[in-house]
Structure 1
Amino acid sequence: MKGVQHFLVFFSLLILGVTLASASDPSPLQDFCVALNSTKHAVFVNGKLCKDPKLATADDFFFSGLDKPGNTSNAVGSRVTPVNVDQIPGLNTLGISLVRIDYAPNGGQNPPHTHPRATEILVVTKGTLYVGFVTSNPDNRLFTKVLKTGDVFVFPVGLIHFQFNIGKTNAIAFAGLSSQNPGVITIANAVFGSNPAINSEVLAKAFKLDKKMVEYLQTQF
């Protein structure tokens, strides 16, 4: 009898494990699912309404403009031009996206940030970048590399990473991401620029800073 009970417990856990394992986003069951903002001729799939496949056109899979440089005249000295499901509706359910990143000379950076839903593979097409990522707790190991034109680097999903232009000229990179909508959390913005603001005492203790310094940093975001 105990053997039967043990088997039933094992079988139940096995079924539970299979159920949990299959709870991730499923693979597409159709050739494509062009995203729509309208409810007309649409079905709801994976966070987006989808166009009737018979009404899809080549323009649903097209984007033009990555040849144009981004304006880097801002506080961080970089500009990210995204090509995700919002720019190409046909990317919906396909699990990929793309960005172009322009960096100003002498310190233009894509500041420390994470993509909660995507691994990133970056290729430098112009200039010299210092790049890196930090592993999760408790090690927090820093992996860095200096990249030149033609070099490629990978940032694992969810880990904090950055790019910094150490050259005297503009730099350009293109990155592929393993999500149609990878999301981005810029660390400094999220911590010091949240809405409403995080209690300054919390941040002062977390970052071992004077409370007035925390309040000053919050005004900068």
Structure 2
Amino acid sequence: MKTRNITRFLKIIDYTTDYESFDTRLRFEGIDNQYIPFLWDLYMLIRFTDFTPEHVKEVFNSDITYQDVADKFGLSLGSVKAEVHNFSKKLDKVFQGDILGQIIDKESIDQEYFKKLELLVVDSLKRRIPNSKDILEKSFSINLLNVPYKKEELPEIGMEEFKNIKNIVMTFSIPLQEYSYNKMNVSHKQYISYLLNTNDTDLGELDRKRKKEILNYCQIR
């Protein structure tokens, strides 16, 4: 898979984290419907997990140059180019072909090859934890991560209370989201901050499930 086609793909979907928008943009480009769920998983893997090195992710941002990334992280231009080159080699080794370019350019794709890649991407995504901070900063106008809390002082959150919390954080209208967040109970803000800042392995079964539900409202699956 070619890095230039990742850049093409990101521009087509306009870096969205909303699945409906993602689906609509690809359909508008004439992408075959059967490939859209695969492309979503591939997007999540490349853009929001540690599959892609941090500096390379920055290169994929809109209107960012290699020099911009080098300046931001205090690296040499050569170091950034080397990271991108190494990532390109990793893509070739993992995908053994340019599936993304084939889909975008509407080329004929061997279905057996596609099915293998489909399973590979799903498995790779399952074994990696999406970067909550990266996702939330791109999806929300409010800061859900920096609310201070003390774990031992967090209240018990019942099912109805949690349902109300979800109804607030799933609001994608920026003015309504900010208004709802400002009205939100402080203990609820602390609870969300606790869920999102705590590793899954350190959460109980119920809290892990709730964290997953919150991230699902950011279109992470």
Q: Could you say whether these structures have the same fold, taking a TM-score greater than 0.5 normalized by the shorter chain as the test?
A: no
**Whose helix fraction is larger, Structure 1's or Structure 2's?**
2
Q: TM-score, normalised by structure 1?
A: 0.22
User: Higher strand fraction: Structure 1 or Structure 2?
Assistant: 1
Greater radius of gyration (CA): 1
Higher relative contact order, structure no. (Cα contacts within 8 Å, ≥ 6 residues apart):
2
